[in-house]
Structure 1
Amino acid sequence: AMVGTLTYAQRRNVVPDPLVPVLLRGAARQNRADMAFLVETVDAVVRARRSPGGGRGAGDGDLLDRMLETAHPESGERLSAENVRRQVITFLVAGHETTSGALSFALHYLARYPDLAARARAEVDRVWGDAARPGYEQVAKLRYVRRVLDEALRLWPTAPAFSREAREDTVLGGVHPMRRGAWALVLTSMLHRDPEVWGADAERFDPDRFDAAAVRGRAPHTFKPFGTGARACIGRQFALHEATLVLGLLLRRYELTPEPGYRLRVVERLTLMPDGLRLRVRRRASAGTDAPRTPSSAPSSPSSPPSGCPVTGAGE
């Protein structure tokens, strides 16, 4: 239902208003059904959480508990049921494809470069030790794992572009005249592969591009996987912490190898993601008992343009 509503919204953006009732009549009917399903699903979760014993309170619970139980410190006002519903749907829509896409790209590259995977895994083992459930601070200490994610987001930012409107007549970059109100679209993948910024090997996967010294030596505004400005992704820190935790747990439990014959293909839906990505996973000898004991092929994100530079279609 969620994918259906997103697909409808994208189609709706390109169909002129007078033609919507004619061209999208069936799609609009399905969209209403999809929206109703989303609303009822979320409302059922909220009802269950509000039931006796269903929540743990704002202090100890999760994000939903906090939204339901936390009052404004001055007015005492709480979020309305409709507001909570919309927030939950926003988390679902904005958080599922983006984080899973970034993780899928990171896993693809770690499977292809076992030396980098070993380096990241060694950091996880050193920082987390025997902790059954790593705490917040332990996740934040996985600096190389975070660099792996940043490099995956550099090559394949899940948000493919962002735009800017000229506030006044100007000349962009000293070359391109723009009148007030004109728009420029920044293709994030091309920004992140500019050889003048990232070097002649900009197409190569190298997490060390994000060590502290390299970041300090780079011009600002050259790495924008979460957009930029006041409307940049509000969930950036949440997503990065979540992705670092998940990637650390996967490295801790599994060895990764590529599926023979798989070639990275990338599709743009709402976000960029690998198409039909498959990896082979093997449980590590020191991992927990919740991981599979035999090699398997594990499908990842769904959804086909060629890999490499999004414009040239260079393969990887």
Structure 2
Amino acid sequence: MVEVTAQLVAKWDRGGEVDVSADMTALALETTGRVGFGYSFESFERSTAHPFVSATLGPLRYAQRRNFTFPLVRTLFGGRAEERYRRDLAHLAEVVDEVVRARRAEGGGGADLLGLMLDSGALDEVNIRDQVITFLIAGHETTSGALSFALHYLSRHPEVAERARAEVDAVWGAAEAPEFEQVAKLRYVRRVLDEALRLWPTAPVYAREARRGTVLGGRYPLEAGQWVLVLLPLVHRNPEVWPSPESFDPDRFAPDRVRARPAHVYKPFGTGERACIGRQFAVHEATLALGTLLRRYDLVASPDHRLRVAEALTLKPEGFTLTPRRR
């Protein structure tokens, strides 16, 4: 994680305006690839995004449209989209097969996630491919969005950025890179991340199916088999729980205020058995990246920038640029 973040810093050190969402996507994809699977996508050596990224976006958009489009519309207009969807999936499989081939050529094994799967003997090749695709997609799409939203709010709230920066300076000191334990000590930086995820949870919805007939909340009758979508941007803006819900206030996540809130009102990583399996990985990666960028740069956004949110199952800022200025 430190090595990949250093590559991002080297890019930003060249000066000029940066595309935040694109750079955070490169950071998260490269980190997941290297840490989980010992594979580099050469994300910061490329002039454009790795083809894996565009091949990821297509299936995500297709899945979104398929879930929320009437069957007749899918029948009339879905042929070309279906063909592109299959082509994108084939490319994802090709990329991951190359990752696995590269590891096998090195003798297989290893202490990372791919090595553990290959050594287990419990998973066949198709299962391993599916697991790797899932980790790569989920590991880079959501984390890159969370980082991008956090940087948006830091650029809009210089007093928050200054307080977070002071914490980084105090905890990390003059060391070129932090030790593992020092990242977890950035408690205010973590609050910044939590508050950004409250306002814009990058995985914005989860679903539940009624096992039997019931009345939800005393108001909504459900038959067995019916589904409910929980829209997290609304849950996270409930004014009965979150005073002034549209304002950005990392201190909402001070320990005493967290303990005072009811359970289940903050779910940016999902819930239950299907909650995010990579939560601790993502939080550590994002906190490390934010701490590194805050320590090195003032984050200057265009004065006429207005937040626009793009959705392809996950959420991230659209067209968000910064001009990082060395401290």
TM range (shorter): 0.7 to 0.9
Contact kept? 2:296, 2:326, Cα under 8 Å? yes
Shift of the alpha carbon at 1:214?
0.5
Q: Aligned equivalents of 1:230 and 1:133: distance in 2?
A: 35
Q: Aligned equivalents of 1:78 and 1:130: distance in 2?
A: 46
CA offsets, 1:13-52, max 9 Å, x none? Answer: 4567788675322222222222222111111122222223
Q: Aligned equivalents of 1:277 and 1:110: distance in 2?
A: 13
Structure 2 residue 305 is the aligned partner of structure 1 residue 262: yes
Q: TM-score, normalised by structure 1?
A: 0.79
Between the two structures, name the one with larger relative contact order (CA 8 Å, sep ≥ 6). 2
Q: Identify if the C-alpha distance between structure 1 residues 131 and 83 changes in structure 2 by more than 3 Å, giving closer, same or farther.
A: farther
Structure 2 residue 316 is the aligned partner of structure 1 residue 273: yes
Structure 2 residue 158 is the aligned partner of structure 1 residue 104: no
Structure 2 residue 199 is the aligned partner of structure 1 residue 147: no
Structure 2 residue 135 is the aligned partner of structure 1 residue 91: yes
CA offsets, 1:175-195, max 9 Å, x none? Answer: 333333333222111111111
Structure 2 residue 233 is the aligned partner of structure 1 residue 189: yes
Q: How many residues align?
A: 273
Give the gaps of 5 or more residues in structure 2.
1-54
Which structure has the larger Rg over C-alpha atoms?
1
Q: Identify if the C-alpha distance between structure 1 residues 262 and 39 changes in structure 2 by more than 3 Å, giving closer, same or farther.
A: same
Shift of the alpha carbon at 1:6?
2.1
Q: Report the structure, 1 or 2, having the larger helix content.
A: 2
CA offsets, 1:130-183, max 9 Å, x none? Answer: 333323222111111111000000011112222222233333222333333333
Aligned to 1:65: 115
Aligned to 1:43: 97
SS at match of 1:240: helix
Contact kept? 2:146, 2:201, Cα under 8 Å? yes
Q: Aligned equivalents of 1:108 and 1:19: distance in 2?
A: 37
Structure 2 residue 302 is the aligned partner of structure 1 residue 250: no
Structure 2 residue 61 is the aligned partner of structure 1 residue 11: no
Give the gaps of 5 or more residues in structure 1.
72-76, 285-316
Q: Aligned equivalents of 1:245 and 1:277: distance in 2?
A: 21
Q: Aligned equivalents of 1:21 and 1:182: distance in 2?
A: 24
Q: Aligned equivalents of 1:160 and 1:123: distance in 2?
A: 30
Aligned to 2:106: 52
Shift of the alpha carbon at 1:282?
0.6
Q: Aligned equivalents of 2:110 and 2:177: distance in 1?
A: 22
The letter for the 1-side match of 2:255 is A
Shift of the alpha carbon at 1:197?
0.4
CA offsets, 1:270-304, max 9 Å, x none? Answer: 112111111221122xxxxxxxxxxxxxxxxxxxx
The letter for the 1-side match of 2:116 is R
CA offsets, 1:247-270, max 9 Å, x none? Answer: 111112211122120111112221
The letter for the 2-side match of 1:39 is A
Contact kept? 1:58, 1:67, Cα under 8 Å? no
Query: Aligned-pair RMSD on alpha carbons?
Result: 2.2
Aligned to 1:172: 216
CA offsets, 1:27-80, max 9 Å, x none? Answer: 222222222221111111222222237x7x534xx43333334x3xxxxx3533
Aligned to 2:169: 125
The letter for the 2-side match of 1:58 is G
Which of 191, 201, 206 pairs up with 1:157? 201
Structure 1 range deviating more: 169-178 or 139-148: 169-178
Q: Aligned equivalents of 1:131 and 1:78: distance in 2?
A: 43
SS at match of 1:131: coil
**Runs of 4+ in structure 1 over 4 Å off:** 14-22
Shift of the alpha carbon at 1:230?
1.6
Q: Aligned equivalents of 1:7 and 1:138: distance in 2?
A: 38
